[in-house]
Structure 1
């Protein structure tokens, strides 16, 4: 389907359910999609960080895109992550996703090797030219060790190379420069700025962002849909209350013991544990080498869900 310009609203980065035998659980994936669509989200983003894209072999990636696109059947736009170290590898992922029916591509800057802004610009230009679909830049410096400069993002937006920005940098000042710059420049139209932060959505929307891509939106999509609506209606008191409820729920990402696991194991494990507890996915397994949550840690996730009115 044709993407709206700008892309707005709640666009969850869809988790990738796995079977106990470490295959993609397509039945659970379609239930998760139904859970999100039924909540009123505005689009879906597969193969991002919350989808465990960094851990998935290529055949899993293809299965995820084909399953979600086929199940959604044009009800909502589907963005697909094409995340890898350098341009040729990213192009392979991007073209495969487009062939499988993705409506747009989300990509980071190249990583592993050090890159110059000129090289980053060439990377995104190649993606836009070769795929022929809208390309969204994914600003994720914690993982790719490169912060996308607002000036570069705006330059590529003015060229029509970028359709939007998914900002997971945590640098709200830089995001605001993109928001303000896109609004002021006559040569930029239809450009979307989407925050990747679950906990500052109200402030991002207040500064002019177009939407949110919340990993926690897998667990509580209705909450983010309400939050987005309150912000758009200017009901900032209810928006703040809903945001604070979601902030408390987001505390589940810290249940994992840092002495035996990293933040990804804890956060993604918590999302999947929550989805399992809510009966949406059949198995809470995460991809290797992530460490599974203990029974006590899963119990803490359940307590967060109960406190948020989700169990």
Structure 2
């Protein structure tokens, strides 16, 4: 299938379950996909930050994509991250993903080397020219150290280079500029504007976002599906109540002790611990060199699940 224009709804960035020896657990991965589909999601995004894409080998990346695309069987659009440092490496990933049957690739700005906005624009143009599927820009300045400006995003959308934006910048003013820019140009009606925020999804949808890409959606896809429906129906009281429940659940990302682990270890470890506690995946292992949650920290994750009515 191809992605709808625009892509709307809940498109979670799918966790990558691992075995205790840090190989991809394909059985748990297919159960996770079934859990997400049953929760009412509208698409799947594999090989993103929540998927631990930066830690996976090319062999593991390919296994994730083949497993998910094969299991979904065209029921939902599958987007996949072509995440790497430079244009030639991204093109290699994007072409492999297109051959594997994904419906769109998700691409960040180049990173490691310093880049000018003109080089970032050239990067996206070259990827779009060299890839057989639509390209969605991934604005992730905390990791790639380059903010995708609203003007650049809209220019590339106008020129047919980008099919959408997944905004994980946390810059709500810039996000609104993209939403307003899209609204002002009928030719951009098919361009997808998606927020990566777990805790302000209702606000983004109220602004006019087309959908949400929440990492926490792995744990509670049905909650985000309810939130999305409430927003689309204009029931803002119901939407706010659901969002505030999800904000409480999101507190699990702080379960890990910051004195001994980084924020990524804590957040990704919490999502995986929650999925294991809910019986979706077999093992909560995260990729090396991330530090695992302790039993006490895992208990804290369980407390958040219980408070949100998920245990």
Bucket of the pairwise TM-score, normalised by the shorter protein: over 0.9
Is 1:309 the counterpart of 2:309 in the alignment? yes
Structure 2 equivalent of residue 195 of structure 1? 195
Q: CA deviation at 1:132?
A: 1.9
Q: CA deviation at 1:233?
A: 0.2
Write the distance in 2 (CA, Å) between the matches of 1:66 and 1:76. 15
SS at match of 2:113: coil
Q: CA deviation at 1:186?
A: 3.5
SS at match of 1:24: coil
TM-score by length of 2: 0.99
Write the distance in 2 (CA, Å) between the matches of 1:177 and 1:286. 36
Q: Which moved more, 1:149-158 or 1:179-188?
A: 179-188
1:181-217 alpha-carbon deviations (Å, 9 max, x no partner) = 0110244230010000000000000000000000000
1:230-285 alpha-carbon deviations (Å, 9 max, x no partner) = 00000000000000000000000001000000000000000000000000000000
TM-score by length of 1: 0.99
Structure 2 equivalent of residue 272 of structure 1? 272
SS at match of 2:37: helix
SS at match of 2:137: strand
**Correspondence list, 1:66-85, <5 A:** 66-85=66-85
SS at match of 1:67: helix
**Correspondence list, 1:63-212, <5 A:** 63-212=63-212
**Correspondence list, 1:18-29, <5 A:** 18-29=18-29
Q: Is the 8 A contact 2:95 2:132 kept in 1?
A: no
Write the distance in 2 (CA, Å) between the matches of 1:117 and 1:29. 37
Write the distance in 2 (CA, Å) between the matches of 1:89 and 1:56. 15
Task: For structure 1, list consecutive stretches of 5 or more residues without a partner in the other structure.
Answer: none
Task: For structure 2, list consecutive stretches of 5 or more residues without a partner in the other structure.
Answer: none
Q: Is the 8 A contact 2:108 2:139 kept in 1?
A: yes
**Correspondence list, 1:29-44, <5 A:** 29-44=29-44
Q: CA deviation at 1:25?
A: 0.2
Paired residues in the alignment total 311
Q: What's the RMSD between the two structures over aligned residues? A: 0.6
SS at match of 2:188: coil
SS at match of 2:50: helix
Write the distance in 2 (CA, Å) between the matches of 1:220 and 1:153. 30
Runs of 4+ in 1 over 2 A off after TM superposition: 186-189
